[in-house]
Structure 1
Amino acid sequence: MNQTAKLAWRESDTPEEIAAALRLLEEEYPISEGGRGLKLKFRKLNDAENVSRVVRNRGEVTIEYSTLSGALRGVGSALAKIDGEERTSFSKLGIMLDVSRNMVMRVEHFKKWLRRLSLCGCNEVLIYSEDTYELEDEPFFGAYRAPYTIDELKEMDDYADALGVELVGCIQTLGHMEQLLQHRYYSSITDSERIMLVDEPETEKLIRKMISFWSSALRSRRIHVGMDEAHGLGRGKHQTLHGAENESALMTRHLKLVSGICKENGLSPMIWSDMFFRMTNPGHEYYDYTSPFPAGLKKEIDPDTQLVYWDYYHTQASDYRKMIARHRELGREPVVGSGIWTWTRLWYDHRTTMETALPCIDVCRQEKISELFFTMWGDDGAYCNYDSSLAGIVRCADLAYGDRDENDSADRFEAICHGDYGAVIAAGEIHAKIKDDFEVLSPMLMWDDPLLGKYFDSCKRADPEFDLAYLDELDDILCRIMPAAENRNAGDIGYAVDLIKFLMKKLELRGALEAAYDLGDRLALRELVTTTIPAAIAALVEVDAGFRRNWLQCAKAHGLERIQIRNAGQLARLEELAVRIREYLDGTIERIEELDERLPHSVVPEKMNRYKEVSGGSWIN
Structure 2
Amino acid sequence: MKIHFTGELSEVLEGISILREDLNIEIAENGYTVEVINRQGPLVVTNKQIIYDKKFHFFRGLGLWLQHMGINKEFHLTEVPQFETSGAMIDVSRNAVLTVDGIKMLLRKMAVMGLNMVMVYTEDTYEVPEVPYFGYMRGRYTEEEIREFDEYAHQLGIEMIPCIQTLAHLKEALKWGYANEVKDTDDILLVGEPKTYELLKKLIETASRPYRTKRIHIGMDEALQLGRGKYMEKNGYNNRFDIMNQHLQEVVKITEEFGLHPMIWSDMYFRLASREGNYYDFDESLLEQVKQSIPNVQMVYWDYYHADEAFYEGMLETHKKLDPDPLFAGGLWTWNGISPNYARAFRNTEAALNACKKIGIKEVFATMWGDNGAETPIQTALPGLQLFAEHTYHQEVRREHLEERFYHCTGYQLNDFLLLNQFDEIPGVMEDNLYSSNPSKFLLWQDVLLGLFDENIKGFPIADHYRGLVDQIRVAKERNQSMEKLFRFYEQLARVLCMKAEIGIDLKSAYDKRDKAKIKVCLENLEILKVGIDRLRKAHRDVWFSVNKPFGWEVLDIRYGGILTRMETAEYRLEQWLNGEISKLEELEEVRLRYDGPEQFPENVTLGRGETYNRIVTASSL
TM-score, with normalisation over the residues of structure 1? 0.92
CA shift for structure 1 position 294 = 5.4
Structure 2 vs 1, CA of residues 369 and 564 (structure 1 numbering), >3 Å: closer, same or farther? same
1:452-601 alignment, distance < 5 Å: 452-457=450-455, 459-460=456-457, 464-466=458-460, 468=461, 470-486=462-478, 487=480, 489-490=482-483, 492-530=486-524, 532-600=525-593
Paired residue for 2:156?
163
Identity of aligned residues (%): 31
Check if 1:265 corresponds to 2:263.
Answer: no
Which of 179, 187, 208 aligns to 2:180? It is 187
Check if 1:73 corresponds to 2:69.
Answer: no
426-435 or 193-202, larger mean C-alpha shift: 426-435
CA distance in 2, matches of 1:560, 1:600: 33
CA contact (8 A) 2:438 2:610 kept: no
Structure 2 vs 1, CA of residues 69 and 229 (structure 1 numbering), >3 Å: closer, same or farther? same
CA distance in 2, matches of 1:357, 1:222: 25
CA contact (8 A) 1:46 1:66 kept: yes
Deviations 1:509-556 (A, max 9, x none): 2232122112211101011112x1112111111110011111111100
Paired residue for 1:250?
243
Paired residue for 1:92?
85
Paired residue for 2:43?
52
Q: What amino acid sits opposite 1:426 in the alignment? A: L
Paired residue for 2:332?
340
Structure 2 vs 1, CA of residues 606 and 417 (structure 1 numbering), >3 Å: closer, same or farther? closer
Paired residue for 2:376?
384
Deviations 1:256-304 (A, max 9, x none): 11111111101000000000011122321101255432553212101x2
Q: What amino acid sits opposite 2:4 in the alignment? A: W
CA contact (8 A) 1:432 1:439 kept: yes
1:321-332 alignment, distance < 5 Å: 321-332=313-324
CA shift for structure 1 position 606 = 5.3
Q: What amino acid sits opposite 1:63 in the alignment? A: I
Secondary structure of the corresponding residue to residue 33 of structure 2? strand
Paired residue for 1:447?
445
CA distance in 2, matches of 1:294, 1:320: 17
Check if 1:32 corresponds to 2:23.
Answer: no
Paired residue for 1:370?
362
Secondary structure of the corresponding residue to residue 288 of structure 1? coil
Paired residue for 1:228?
221
CA distance in 2, matches of 1:588, 1:595: 16
CA contact (8 A) 2:300 2:327 kept: yes
Secondary structure of the corresponding residue to residue 8 of structure 1? strand
CA contact (8 A) 1:339 1:374 kept: yes
Deviations 1:151-178 (A, max 9, x none): 0000010000000000001100000000
CA shift for structure 1 position 617 = 1.7
Secondary structure of the corresponding residue to residue 180 of structure 1? helix
Q: What amino acid sits opposite 2:307 in the alignment? A: T
TM-score, with normalisation over the residues of structure 2? 0.92
Secondary structure of the corresponding residue to residue 191 of structure 1? strand
CA contact (8 A) 1:278 1:286 kept: yes
Structure 2 vs 1, CA of residues 601 and 32 (structure 1 numbering), >3 Å: closer, same or farther? closer
CA shift for structure 1 position 456 = 2.7
Structure 2 vs 1, CA of residues 220 and 573 (structure 1 numbering), >3 Å: closer, same or farther? same
Secondary structure of the corresponding residue to residue 482 of structure 2? coil
Deviations 1:535-593 (A, max 9, x none): 21111111100111111111000000001100010111111111111111111122221
CA shift for structure 1 position 444 = 1.6
Q: What amino acid sits opposite 1:498 in the alignment? A: Q
331-340 or 229-238, larger mean C-alpha shift: 331-340
Structure 2 vs 1, CA of residues 263 and 326 (structure 1 numbering), >3 Å: closer, same or farther? same
CA contact (8 A) 1:289 1:323 kept: no
Secondary structure of the corresponding residue to residue 439 of structure 1? coil
Which of 608, 612, 615 aligns to 1:613? It is 615
387-396 or 27-36, larger mean C-alpha shift: 27-36
Deviations 1:163-194 (A, max 9, x none): 00000011000000000111122100010011
CA distance in 2, matches of 1:41, 1:331: 41
Deviations 1:343-399 (A, max 9, x none): 133233211111211101111111111000000001100111211221221122112
Structure 2 vs 1, CA of residues 36 and 535 (structure 1 numbering), >3 Å: closer, same or farther? farther
Secondary structure of the corresponding residue to residue 454 of structure 1? coil
Paired residue for 2:408?
415
348-357 or 325-334, larger mean C-alpha shift: 325-334
CA distance in 2, matches of 1:288, 1:488: 48
CA distance in 2, matches of 1:610, 1:598: 23
Structure 2 vs 1, CA of residues 294 and 374 (structure 1 numbering), >3 Å: closer, same or farther? closer
Runs of 4 or more consecutive aligned structure 1 residues displaced over 6 Å after TM superposition: 602-605
Q: How many aligned residue pairs are there? A: 599
392-401 or 256-265, larger mean C-alpha shift: 392-401
CA shift for structure 1 position 251 = 0.4
Structure 2 vs 1, CA of residues 619 and 398 (structure 1 numbering), >3 Å: closer, same or farther? farther
Check if 1:8 corresponds to 2:3.
Answer: yes
Paired residue for 2:307?
315
CA distance in 2, matches of 1:38, 1:445: 54
521-530 or 591-600, larger mean C-alpha shift: 591-600
Secondary structure of the corresponding residue to residue 329 of structure 1? helix
CA contact (8 A) 1:344 1:441 kept: no
CA distance in 1, matches of 2:588, 2:97: 40
CA distance in 2, matches of 1:64, 1:549: 41
Check if 1:357 corresponds to 2:359.
Answer: no
543-552 or 413-422, larger mean C-alpha shift: 413-422
Which of 124, 132, 140 aligns to 2:125? It is 132
270-279 or 413-422, larger mean C-alpha shift: 413-422
Q: What amino acid sits opposite 1:146 in the alignment? A: G
445-454 or 434-443, larger mean C-alpha shift: 434-443
CA shift for structure 1 position 488 = 5.1
1:188-227 alignment, distance < 5 Å: 188-227=181-220
CA distance in 1, matches of 2:8, 2:2: 13
Deviations 1:29-61 (A, max 9, x none): 2122116654332233422xxx333223xxx4x
CA contact (8 A) 1:348 1:392 kept: no
Q: What amino acid sits opposite 2:230 in the alignment? A: K
202-211 or 407-416, larger mean C-alpha shift: 407-416
Check if 1:112 corresponds to 2:112.
Answer: no
CA contact (8 A) 2:416 2:476 kept: yes
What value does the CA root-mean-square deviation take over the aligned residues? 2.0
CA distance in 1, matches of 2:362, 2:175: 38
575-584 or 506-515, larger mean C-alpha shift: 506-515
Q: What amino acid sits opposite 1:93 in the alignment? A: S
CA distance in 1, matches of 2:103, 2:389: 18
386-395 or 412-421, larger mean C-alpha shift: 412-421
CA shift for structure 1 position 139 = 1.1
CA shift for structure 1 position 438 = 7.2
Q: What amino acid sits opposite 1:318 in the alignment? A: A
Q: What amino acid sits opposite 2:615 in the alignment? A: E
Paired residue for 1:430?
423
CA shift for structure 1 position 449 = 1.3
38-47 or 95-104, larger mean C-alpha shift: 38-47
Secondary structure of the corresponding residue to residue 12 of structure 2? helix
509-518 or 76-85, larger mean C-alpha shift: 76-85
CA contact (8 A) 1:347 1:386 kept: no
Paired residue for 1:141?
134
CA shift for structure 1 position 7 = 5.3
Paired residue for 2:391?
399
Secondary structure of the corresponding residue to residue 485 of structure 1? helix
Q: What amino acid sits opposite 1:510 in the alignment? A: G
Secondary structure of the corresponding residue to residue 520 of structure 1? coil
